[in-house]
Amino acid sequence: MSLLTVGTVAFDSIETPRGCAERIVGGAATYISLAASHFTTPIQLVSVIGDDFPSETLDFMEKRGIDLKGLQIREGEKSFFWAGRYHDNMNARDTLDTQLNVLADFQPHLPEGYKNPDYLMLGNLTPQVQMQVIEQIEKRPKLVAMDTMNFWMDTAWDDLMQVLKKIDILIINDEEARQMSEEYSLVRAAERIRQMGPRFLIIKKGEHGALLFYEEQIFFAPALPLYEVFDPTGAGDTFAGGFMGYMAQTDDLSFENMKRAIIYGSAMASFCVEKFGIQRLTELHADAIEQRVEAFAALVNFSTHGNGARRRV
């Protein structure tokens, strides 16, 4: 099944307790499409870059089945750039620099062949741009997911609320869910956010896993305890890309299958953080993904009843 995604394609400069990387390839749509490319094809990407973006990366993305007809390349301009530094705990980070560049006046344009995607993933971008993408879609996709961030809650709340009414799944982190709902309990937060539009809500908790809320049901996917986290950049987008890629591949909208999709997304994110930037995603093979999904199953698997019969006291 086809997956359309919109989001940034960009450069990042990253400092983590494990090291530094200068101007490496990043961006939400880059991580989303690369992660999804391990599951489904075609992937249609809508974004904008300057003429400074490495052609080898674009070639590699095309080789992985990512269609770049929707990627605008602006001559004489620069790609979006973000620089940040992670704290020791890797959960918090400071933004050191943000240069919007080509993103400042980005108008997404969906080429012919992009207007009827089976699955749609709206990466974190201004809600207006997310809405512009939705408005160009001719037939409602089977599943529409979106990411957003605190900044849009502070600066574009009304637009954000409009987009929320058009989607099926919101994928955000715990801090964002608390801000959006003004509730500390994630169960209460999920209740309020789902009243704003999305039937499904995924709350990502970084190293603490992810929660899926749907009607009265809750599914919890752990994060794999890792020996070392090298660089958390892109982990959330990789999660979303793996999730939506798996959904598009299996084309099964049941809650049971959505649980599996979250485990596949978590597995992809666990690879992402092992190296700087997109590197680990570019060298990944199907066997390793399957092995990691099995590791997730082993991590949480238990049977409620053993040989020692449980007595009531």
67 close to 4: Cβ distance less than 8 angstroms: no
CB of 140 to a second copy, least distance (A): 21
Contacts of 179 (CB under 8 A, 6+ apart): 150, 153
Minimum Å distance from CB 80 to a second copy?
A: 28
CB of 231 to a second copy, least distance (A): 14
Q: Contact at 8 Å (CB) between 43 and 29? A: no
Looking at the Cβ atoms of 54 and 209, the one nearer to a second copy is 209
Cβ closer to a second copy: 155 or 185? 185
Partners of 19 in the β-ladder:
16
Beta bridge partners of 13: 83
Closer by beta carbon to a second copy, 49 or else 272 = 272
* Helices marked H in 64-137: 127-136
CB 272 to a second copy: min, Å? 16
The smaller minimum CB distance to a second copy, of residues 3 and 160, is found at: 3
CB 222 within 8 A of CB 12: no
Question: Cα–Cα–Cα angle for 206, 32, 188, nearest 5°?
Answer: 40
253-255-256 Cα angle (round to 5) = 105
Instruction: Name the H helices within the chain.
Output: 28-36, 55-63, 127-136, 150-155, 157-164, 174-181, 186-195, 235-250, 255-272, 279-282, 286-300
Binding site for a second copy (CB under 8 A): 37-41, 65, 88-90, 184-188, 205, 208-209, 211, 218-222, 225-229, 249-252, 254, 256-257, 259-260, 263, 286, 293-294, 297, 299-300, 302-308, 310-313
Closest CB 4 distance from a second copy, rounded Å = 17
Q: Identify any residues that bridge with 6 across adjacent strands, giving them in sequence order.
A: 46, 122
CB of residue 38 vs a second copy: minimum separation in angstroms? Answer: 6
Q: Which of 178/280 has CB closer to a second copy? A: 178
Nearer to a second copy by C-beta: 108 or 206? 206
For residues 64 and 12, what is the distance between their CA atoms, to the nearest angstrom?
A: 22
Q: Of 14 and 160, which CB lies nearer to a second copy in the complex structure?
A: 14
Provide the minimum distance between the beta carbon of 53 and a second copy in the complex, in angstroms, as a whole number: 25
Dihedral angle of Cα 103, 104, 106, 107, to the nearest 10 degrees:
160
